[in-house]
Amino acid sequence: MTDVVDADELLRRIRRGRERAAEEERAWRERAQTLTATDPDGAREAAARARAFEAVLRVMEEIVSPGRPPAVTEGVKRVT
């Protein structure tokens, strides 16, 4: 069943989703860094998941704050 929500509730939901995407991105990046030495395949998989959450985060940030430069996770190095 679909509920009708007002703009404020929609914005709250998007912000919660944005926060969750940021948490997941950080967690997967940390996992990728942890696995780099012991499990290169696992590290690549974790890095790919982190990039997916990064994309979701950027879209949500553009919805909430159009035109603002994208946020960058500090101290994160990418695993390729």
| Of the listed ranges 6-10, 32-36, 68-72, the one predicted with least confidence | 68-72
Does 75 score more than 90 pLDDT? no
Residues belonging to the chain: 80
Instruction: Tell me the C-alpha distance between 73 and 61, whole Å.
Output: 13
Instruction: Tell me the C-alpha distance between 36 and 46, whole Å.
Output: 10
Taking only the tens place, the pLDDT of each residue in 48-58 is 999 999 999 99
